Structure 1
Amino acid sequence: MPHCIVEYSANLNGQALVDLVHQGALASELFQAQGSDIKVRAIPYSEFKTGSVDISFIHVTMRILSGRNDEQKTMLTQRVLMQLQTLIKVDCSLSVEVVDIDRETYSKVVV
């Protein structure tokens, strides 16, 4: 845990974004020390509109098991944003949100 979904404009480097989101989540120290429980995947978009101007975008949804407080969630989003800002050299809209996964109903199996 967490499941990080990176949506981004296709003119950006998807693998670099995946790596940076992983590093940001790891830096939060909310997850396993080696980062082995951090899952990141990316979805590029070639067709998009960001307001009234054409700029790149990155939106990260971080789905985590419920139980973290608002301070921890804010720190997590800030760590991920800081990592992403190291890559961006063009006008870009960056956003990160944390979504709680209900512990009572979440199921997982590794086969």
Structure 2
Amino acid sequence: MPHFVIDCSAAILQQKTPEEIMQAVYDVAESTGLFADGDIKVRINPFTHFKLGPTKENFIHVFGNIMGGRSITQRSELSHLVISKLVQLFPDVPIISMNVQEFEKATYCNRSMI
């Protein structure tokens, strides 16, 4: 069920392939034991046009969207683990961040629920 959407500067893909980046995030998420096996979804959006204040440095930001029910501690640990892995893969990238949001179960719907 969880969705991890990776926004990044396009130049990031010159350092690692999209598959390597997505697999790294997938592996970390799976290693936490917070999600059912095989349910983790990861996508990547490289940007060629962006503005980060007065600079145009490379960046990676992961948006984690998960179904409610995990504690703040679990969500925080997930963020820290993903960021640690990305810093390991991209030691020279100055902006690497993540946030985790919860889906509201009452308002979530997908095709199989109709």
TM-score normalised to the size of structure 1? 0.88
Q: Which residue of 2 aligns with 1:61?
A: 63
Matched AA of 1:15: E
Question: Shift in Å at residue 23 of structure 1?
Answer: 1.4
Structure with greater helix share of residues: 2
Contact map agreement 1:23 1:83 (CA 8 A) in 2: no
Q: Which residue of 1 aligns with 2:6?
A: 6
Question: Shift in Å at residue 50 of structure 1?
Answer: 2.1
Aligned pairs (5 A) from 1:1-111:
1-13=1-13, 14-32=18-36, 34=37, 36-110=38-112
Contact map agreement 2:6 2:62 (CA 8 A) in 1: yes
Q: Percent identity?
A: 31
Figure out how many residues of one structure are paired with residues of the other and give that number: 108
Runs (4+) of structure 1 moved beyond 6 Å? none
Structure 2 unpaired stretches of 5+: none
Question: Shift in Å at residue 109 of structure 1?
Answer: 2.9
TM-score normalised to the size of structure 2? 0.86
- Give the secondary-structure state (helix, strand or coil) at the position aligned to 1:84: helix
Contact map agreement 2:87 2:93 (CA 8 A) in 1: no
Structure 1 unpaired stretches of 5+: none
Contact map agreement 2:3 2:65 (CA 8 A) in 1: yes
CA RMSD of aligned residues (A): 1.4
Question: Shift in Å at residue 92 of structure 1?
Answer: 2.7
